[in-house]
Amino acid sequence: MSVLRILLALGALVGAPQAGLAQETRDLGLPPAQTPNLPPAQNPNLPPPTGQRYLPGASGPFADPDRPVSLRSSRPNAGADGYRGDVFASRSGVRVDRIDDLAQIAPFLRGCWSPPAGFRQRSRIDMTVRFSLTRNGDFVGAPRLVYANARASKAQRRALLDSVNAAVRACAPLPLSNSFGAAIAGRPLSIRFVVDGGR
């Protein structure tokens, strides 16, 4: 009986390290999943989380090392949502025979716009409208109001929007050049109309 106990004790001592290793393996579980290496079409670079402008292909493992990287836009008023321009009541408009550049659109619209009367001399009321043009310069539908500042009353907003719609009808079609019309067709344009109290 004592020999049997000795053999069992020796067996337990020899088997103890193996049981411990097996237990540790079970506690660790499976190794973490590894991210597979995918081609660029299936694994694009994601935009940075800081809100900086995302330039596809400007950096990362698939970037072109010879391509110059510039974080500044070629047009300060051009953004992801289209061109932005300002039309001030205190400035005169510019009539041209042919529009070849985005910067010429706002001054051209000012030449057609008659700001509404009845605003206080020191008030600054502005509204932003968004629209698109066809390649021959016609407006796609009516301009859509996207912003009006809080100082404008409901009647002032209505009067300002009516004057903007009248300017659009008076200006249409815009005299776009063939190449510029083809490039701008369907692109959203945001124009801010400002009644700045004569300043």
pLDDT, residue 120, reads: 54
Residues 114-134: pLDDT tens digits? 888 766 555 678 888 898 999
> How many whole angstroms separate alpha carbon 74 and alpha carbon 72?
6
CATH 3.30.1150, domain 84-195, yes or no: yes
37-41, 47-51, 103-107, 144-148: the lowest-pLDDT one: 47-51
Domain map (residue ranges) of the chain? 84-195
User: 197 to each of 90, 121, 125, 173, 194, how far by Cα in Å?
Assistant: 8, 5, 8, 29, 9
Tokens of 89: 């009541």
> How many whole angstroms separate alpha carbon 175 and alpha carbon 111?
13
pLDDT, residue 6, reads: 79
Q: For a pLDDT cut of 70, what percent of the chain falls above it?
A: 58
Q: What DSSP string describes 119-146?
A: --TT--EEEEEEE-B-TTS-BSSSPEEE
**Mean pLDDT, rounded, of the chain:** 71
pLDDT, residue 33, reads: 55
Q: By the 8 A CB rule, do 145 and 190 touch? A: no
Phi, psi of 57 (to 5 degrees): 80, 0
pTM greater than 0.75: no
pLDDT, residue 75, reads: 40
Residues 51-104: pLDDT tens digits? 444 455 555 555 555 554 443 333 434 444 566 788 887 777 777 889 888 888
> How many whole angstroms separate alpha carbon 145 and alpha carbon 192?
10
